[in-house]
Amino acid sequence: MSSLQVKTFGNTNHPLVADDGTVQFDYIRPLEHSQQRADGHLEITRPIPPPLTVQQINKKYCGYDQCRFILPIAITEQESKAQYHFRQLAFLSGKLKRTIVLPNVHSSHLGACRQHPFDFYYDYTWLDKNKQFFNYITMEQFQQWIQERHTVQAVPSGQEVFIEIDETYPHLAKSTNCFQHLFDFTYRPRRRYQLEDPELESKRIGNYTEILLNALGDDERRKDYQNNNNNKDIPDLEVIHLFYDRRFGYIEEPQVEEPLGYHQRWTSLADQIAKQLQPFVAIHWRMERLEPVSNMQLCAEELVRKLDHIDDSGKKNVFLLTDYPHLLTSPLAKPESMSFKLNELRPEHHDAIRYLYERTNVTLTTLQRQDIPYDDLPKQNWNLIPVEAMSKPADKSILGIVDKLVAIRAQWFLYGQPGVCGKDSSFTRRIQYERITAYQHGDPNIMSPFDTFKLHV
């Protein structure tokens, strides 16, 4: 029986075994009667458990002797659409008999190398409701599996696969694989598959589900290995490192259309904000790249007329969701959308927003910070609700999640006519979906599911 030395070291939930056999963990010596706290080193001996085999490690995390994962390194598009693509991938992973690794999240994007875990944005309700279709593993569990495999000198196998619309598209160009150094890619070259993605299924050539199953399936992976190594013994590929650029869905199961639920931290906050504002009208006004900008003022006038029709007393609150700067024209202001550039703002944008807040009581969210320029903002009718980021550095995209959840809870919801007074977006469609569902189930808080403000020709 061998022994090891145990030392105090930092604060960790999982003991780490160093090369010299030292186990590092946080040790606090219990106090004797009337004794001062005196933490220090403690030496004990205990048996070292026998190392696990590769099969035992795999069974621990997968339930089988062999693990088969899909790791989404990058999923293109922003949160509302990106989570839709993830849901498609989750169902596809089940058809491939692979377990999907829950991607990390940050800046309204999903991918393995992002800063926050999946449940910083989402809860697990949708995943668990659909467990008959696919299996999943958290990123933390997946990383532990990798660590334990390395501990027994069994580096897992991997292959990078791109599913993209066109190799020249820039969407995946900046995506790097932060897991690359942890896998064995021997005889498994990077593969790129191009597949056009028209919105209309009638314009697609072939069954897209079958095409993707073939591209990601075992036969293709074995061909890659065999073409680079004449050895007849072809080991099963353990992890597909997937770079994924799609636009439209292909999975036929209706469950894939149900959105992911958001974490309780955000739904609770939205409940609090909605309760303070009631009764209120939520407005989604996305201004980015709307042409001609001369329509902005006309759209603002039509919006105010719409609001007056909803409430001729003018007493109802307005909750505004917009990519226009929430700090208005303050030196600290910039557009709320990452794709809406500061130099794209025009006087027409400013005039339209001014027209709105001079005639209605507007409330918006902003990230909590020490230097919110309240002195630069209007003294009336422009109200900011600071939202705690709950992360360092702050992830500004949580405002989009909170805004979406507040709008779902509004008594009325308006959005700009696509292509004229607003931009068509999956963000708006998510709000519509939730509000229609609640309205059909008799939610008394929703007076009208949605309506548009638009120009009358």
| 76 & 224 share domain | yes
What is d(CA 126, CA 132) in angstroms, rounded to the nearest whole number? 12
Alpha carbon of 283 to those of 276, 419, 450: distances in Å? 17, 16, 10
Task: Report residue 95 as tokens.
Answer: 């058809």
**Contact indicator for 222, 234 with CB cutoff of 8 Å:** yes
Judged on CB neighbours under 10 Å (0-12, 13-18, 19+), 437 is middle
What is d(CA 254, CA 274) in angstroms, rounded to the nearest whole number? 30
What is d(CA 316, CA 310) in angstroms, rounded to the nearest whole number? 9
Q: How high is the pLDDT of residue 388? A: 93
- Supply the pTM of this predicted model: 0.85
| 164 & 127 share domain | yes
| 65 & 189 share domain | yes
Q: How high is the pLDDT of residue 12? A: 31
What is d(CA 298, CA 286) in angstroms, rounded to the nearest whole number? 15
| 381 & 320 share domain | yes
| 39 & 176 share domain | no
| 342 & 240 share domain | no
Establish whether the linkage from the previous residue to 444 is cis, with ω within 30° of 0.
Answer: no
| 9 & 63 share domain | no
| 126 & 238 share domain | yes
Q: Note down the domain range covering 236.
A: 54-257
| 298 & 406 share domain | yes
Amino acid at 360: T
Q: How high is the pLDDT of residue 46? A: 58
| 239 & 296 share domain | no
Instruction: Give the count of beta carbons closer than 10 Å to the beta carbon of residue 450.
Output: 20
For residue 123, give the CATH number of its domain.
Answer: 3.40.50
CA angle 194, 196, 202 (to 5 degrees): 145
Tell which of 240, 257, 274 closes a domain: 257
Task: Report residue 129 as tokens.
Answer: 């409701």
| 408 & 378 share domain | yes
Q: How high is the pLDDT of residue 15? A: 31
Give φ, ψ of 65 to 5 degrees: -65, -30
What is the number of structural domains in the chain? Answer: 3
Tell which of 226, 257, 288 closes a domain: 257
| 282 & 412 share domain | yes
Identify the segments of the chain with pLDDT beneath 50. Answer: 1-44
Tell which of 215, 232, 257 closes a domain: 257
